[in-house]
């Protein structure tokens, strides 16, 4: 999700991703930096925090005026990020419990990735009812790209991104062009090339979801 080197710290990854998605700025404020430090102490993967940021940004994206940042501060993402952290920790705790007796009727706990994967597959199956022309492509996705559940958050992000790009390519040319145009609306020219790529990827995925009426899983 980030284009920083693998040696980058959690704080650097979060700052890089937030500023790219925001579409403006070179560094975080002192208050936002304190917030990132607190999230780092939670010990969750960067992708969990990035997911909260992207969900907050996507909700605000279509209401932002031209030339205005999608988010004014990282604190605007706090509620969504901390919701994602809580979900991740709760699911991880369930995975860490001792195995239940064979007689137990309760379902085994699912991982954060398993929950996201199940929601993505459900959203795609629902899509086939709204967009029948996409049904063959969706079924191939379910049988190939989505056949296995990723074991890491980064792999889950990549799997979802691949699925969205496959669906984008399946749209008629005029619709693809509209989605691409929407994704580039509000792009800041003062951003670095690296940040521009991250921002464009975020906006493109958001535009595809919007066109297909798919909520982020």
Residue 205 lies in a domain: yes
Distance (Å, rounded) from C-alpha 115 to C-alpha 181?
32
pLDDT at 138: 96
Q: Which domain holds residue 71?
A: 10-92
Cα separation, 217 vs 199, whole angstroms: 19
Residue positions counted in the chain: 217
Last residue of a domain, one of 59, 92, 125: 92
- Residue 198 has a CB neighbour count (10 Å cut-off) of 21
Q: Give me the pLDDT at residue 184, please.
A: 78
Same domain, 34 and 71: yes
pTM of the model: 0.79
Domains contained in the chain, number: 2
Residues 6+ apart with CB under 8 A from 132: none
Q: Any idea of the CA torsion for 148, 153, 156, 157, to the nearest 10 degrees? A: -170
Q: Shortest CA distance to 217 belongs to which of 156, 128, 170? A: 156
Write down the pLDDT at residue 8.
78
pLDDT in tens, the chain (217 residues): 544 456 678 998 888 888 888 877 678 889 999 999 999 999 999 999 999 999 998 888 777 666 566 788 899 999 999 999 999 998 887 665 545 555 555 556 688 899 999 999 999 999 999 999 999 999 999 999 999 999 999 999 999 999 999 999 999 999 999 999 888 776 665 556 667 788 888 889 999 999 999 876 6
pLDDT number for residue 21: 87
Q: Which ranges in the chain belong to alpha helices (H)?
A: 10-22, 30-40, 46-61, 78-96, 112-130, 135-143, 153-170, 173-184, 193-212
> What is the Cα–Cα distance from 95 to 90, expressed in whole angstroms?
9
Closest CA to 141 of 167, 122, 168: 167
Q: Rounded to a whole number, what is the distance in angstroms from the first to the last CA of the chain?
A: 16
**Residue 46 and residue 125 in one domain:** no
Does residue 162 lie within any of the structural domains? Answer: yes
Place of tokens 């979900």: 87
Q: Are residues 117 and 38 in the same domain?
A: no
Structure confidence at residue 19 (pLDDT): 86
Token duo for residue 144: 């190939």
Look at residue 97 and tell me if it is in a domain.
Answer: no
88 and 116 share one domain: no
What are the backbone dihedrals phi and psi of residue 69, each rounded to the nearest 5 degrees, phi first?
-60, 150
Question: Which of 92, 127, 156 finishes a domain?
Answer: 92
Structure tokens at 205: 């995925």
The 8-class DSSP code of residue 168 comes to H
């Amino acid at each position: 999700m980030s284009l920083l080197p693998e040696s980058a710290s959690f704080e650097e990854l979060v700052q890089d991703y937030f500023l790219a998605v925001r579409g403006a700025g070179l560094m975080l404020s002192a208050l936002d930096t304190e917030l990132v430090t607190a999230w780092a102490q939670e010990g969750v993967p960067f992708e969990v925090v990035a997911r909260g940021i992207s969900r907050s940004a996507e909700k605000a994206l279509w209401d932002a005026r031209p030339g205005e940042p999608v988010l004014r501060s990282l604190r605007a993402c706090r509620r969504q990020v901390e919701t994602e952290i809580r979900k991740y920790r709760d699911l991880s705790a369930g995975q860490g419990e001792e195995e239940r007796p064979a007689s137990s009727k309760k379902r085994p706990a699912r991982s954060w990735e398993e929950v996201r994967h199940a929601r993505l597959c459900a959203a795609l199956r629902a899509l086939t009812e709204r967009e029948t022309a996409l049904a063959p492509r969706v079924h191939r996705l379910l049988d190939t790209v989505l056949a296995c559940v990723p074991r890491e958050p980064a792999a889950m992000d990549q799997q979802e991104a691949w699925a969205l790009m496959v669906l984008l390519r399946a749209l008629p040319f005029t619709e693809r062009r509209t989605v691409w145009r929407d994704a580039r609306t509000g792009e800041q020219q003062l951003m670095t090339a690296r940040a521009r790529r991250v921002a464009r990827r975020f906006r493109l995925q958001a535009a595809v979801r919007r066109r297909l009426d798919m909520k982020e899983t």
